[in-house]
Structure 1
Amino acid sequence: MQHIVSGYRGMSLLFDLNWDRIMYIGTIALGLLAGGFVGSFLGSF
Structure 2
Amino acid sequence: MQTFKEGYRGLSVLVNVNFDLLLYVTTLALAFVCAGFMGSL
Letter in 2 for 1:25: V
Counterparts of 1:10-29 in structure 2, within 5 Å, are: 10-29=10-29
The alignment of Structure 1 onto Structure 2 pairs a total of residues equal to 41
Between the aligned residues of both structures, percent identity stands at 44
Shift, 1:19, TM fit: 0.3
How far apart in 2 are the matches of 1:30 and 1:17?
Answer: 22
Unaligned runs of 5+ residues in structure 1 are none
- Name the structure 1 match of 2:2: 2
Provide structure 2 residue ranges, at least 5 long, that are not aligned to the other structure: none
Moved over 2 A (4+): none
Q: What's the RMSD between the two structures over aligned residues?
A: 0.3
Q: Which structure has the greater CA radius of gyration?
A: 1
What TM-score do you get using the length of structure 2 for normalisation? 0.97
